[in-house]
Amino acid sequence: MKKRLLPILTASLIIAFGAFDVVAMSAKFPLSITAEAKEDFAEIRISGVIHQWQNSAQDFKRQIDDLIAKGIKNVKLYISTPGGSVFEANEIANEIKRFSGTVSGYGGALVASAGSYLALICDTFEMAENGQYMYHKPMGSIQGNEDKVAADLKLLQNLTNQYRTAYAEKTGLTEDEIESRWSKGDVWLSAKEALDQGFITSVSSKKEKITEDHKALFIACGAPTIPNVNSKKENNMKNRNELIAALKLPADATDEQILAAATKASEKAGTVEKLENEKTASVQKQAEELIDKAITTDKKITADVREQYIKFAVADMDGTKSILNSMPALVKPSANFDNGKNTDESRKDWTLEDYQKKDVKALEKMMIEDPEAFAKLEEAYFAS
């Protein structure tokens, strides 16, 4: 049995580590994945639903290339995700595994489904004290004729076996124990329970701040315990001495002097806030114009990632421009593929793995338009 999971997500076999609607939830909580140098290590952060990895794959791989070229070996990986595509999580893991050093992981409020596989690749993994960890069997939606259904079922069974083995090797539990637990449905663990069972190596003394978005994700995942949103309000009331010190008034300042100074400070703050708001609006407009041009004129990205790229541009306009300038225009799969048959004679001997590594979109098109050719590739793969 091959240990590497098939890195494809197809229209006819969608395998996702989650009971929620991946497509719908990814629109609200899109995948965010970054890699940057921090002193002598690479900091990689993954959040949101693991879906449409191809939208950020090129940038992420380039970031990894740059970090490795600088001689960086070790990784600190932050994960906070409800899961998503098994295949896409595996491809992200393969990129992280390119580093030759150690991978130290940290889990935020939620490490679930496909996110739990990413945690498995870490040499150590710490979770926030109030974090939750969830794993379960890979889940799939299969359609097609009886031969196609049989082939896809075989793939799903292989995935299940591989993940069962991975969890067992990580925790020290037997595969029968893993099977017994996840056969009953989603397995939800607190950070302490995840530690006790060997899924993680430590629990942080710090708690993750729970937002409304976190709460929505827990609900969508069907978590049995929904955390409360942090609603602690800071007390902005100052006593007299604190006000005098903050306003830089003499110790014997009268109430009238304190009030006058506070009013003046408030007016100044209002002016600064207005200027900041105007600057923010200007940057937002520039970001929207930049991304709309990349979508409609330059054809660099698709409309479904517009909001995510606008956020990138607002945070780093020059960096986003650089990324967009380096990106090639989008090319439809049909430009290199015709009715599921190879137009390039050099592909006549390609295996399933060749397509997975070199032209996933061509493989997806073959599944839809030439299922017989795809079935032959699958048959050859599972026979090897």
Q: Exposed/middle/buried for 36, CB within 10 Å: 0-12, 13-18, 19+?
A: exposed
Reported as a pLDDT band with limits 50, 70 and 90, residue 70 is very high
Partner residues linked to 37 by β-bridges: 42
Least confident range from 113-127, 165-179, 261-275, 324-338: namely 324-338
Query: Closest Cα to residue 220, out of 49, 68, 6?
Result: 49
**pLDDT top residue among 347 and 167:** 167
Classify domain 13-220 by CATH number.
Answer: 3.90.226.10
The average confidence (pLDDT) of the chain is: 83
Distance of alpha carbon 346 from alpha carbon 195, whole angstroms: 50
Question: Per-residue pLDDT for 335 more than 70?
Answer: no
- Residue pair 112/84 in contact by the 8 Å Cβ criterion: no
Non-local CB neighbours of 236 within 8 Å, separated by 6+ positions:
none
- Average pLDDT (198-227) is 91
For residues 124-136, average pLDDT: 96
How confident is residue 8, by pLDDT bands cut at 50, 70 and 90?
very low
CB atoms < 10 A from the CB of 344, how many?
A: 11
Write down the pLDDT at residue 231.
64
User: Rounded mean pLDDT of 299-317?
Assistant: 86
Alpha-carbon span 340 to 374, nearest angstrom: 9
* Rounded Cα–Cα distance for residues 213 and 329 (Å): 33
Please report the DSSP string for 218-274 in residue order: HHHTT-SSPPPPP-PPP-----HHHHHHHTT--TT--HHHHHHHHHHHHHHHHHHHH
pLDDT of residue 198: 96
Of the candidates 11, 26, 10, 79, the one whose C-alpha atom is nearest the C-alpha of residue 220 is 26
Which pLDDT tens digit goes with each residue over 183-212?
999 999 999 999 999 999 999 998 998 989
Share of the chain above pLDDT 70, in %: 86
Within 10 angstroms of residue 169's Cβ, the number of other Cβ atoms is 11
Q: pLDDT value at position 344?
A: 56
E strands present in the chain: 13-16, 32-38, 41-47, 74-81, 103-112, 124-127, 132-135, 139-142, 187-190, 202-203, 337-338, 341-342
Element (H or E) spanning 382, and its range? helix 371-383
Positions of CATH 3.90.226.10 in the chain: 13-220
Q: Is residue 43 classed as helix, strand or coil in its secondary structure? A: strand
- pLDDT of residue 104 exceeding 90: yes
Dihedral sign (CA 115, 120, 124, 126): positive
Nearest to 19 by CA among 214, 209, 292, 217: 217
Residue 132 has pLDDT above 80, yes or no: yes
Could you tell me which residue, 3 or 151, shows the higher pLDDT? 151
CB–CB of 78/43 below 8 Å?
Answer: yes
Q: What is the pLDDT of residue 98?
A: 95
Task: Name the residue type at position 132.
Answer: Q
On whether the CB atoms of residues 198 and 170 are closer than 8 A, the answer is yes
Which span out of 5-9, 123-127, 223-227, 241-245 was modeled with the highest average pLDDT?
A: 123-127
For residues 47-54, give the mean pLDDT. Answer: 87
Q: What is the pLDDT of residues 254-303, one digit of tens each?
A: 777 777 887 888 777 777 777 777 788 888 999 999 999 988 888 888 88
Pick the range with the lowest mean pLDDT from 37-51, 114-128, 303-317, 333-347: 333-347
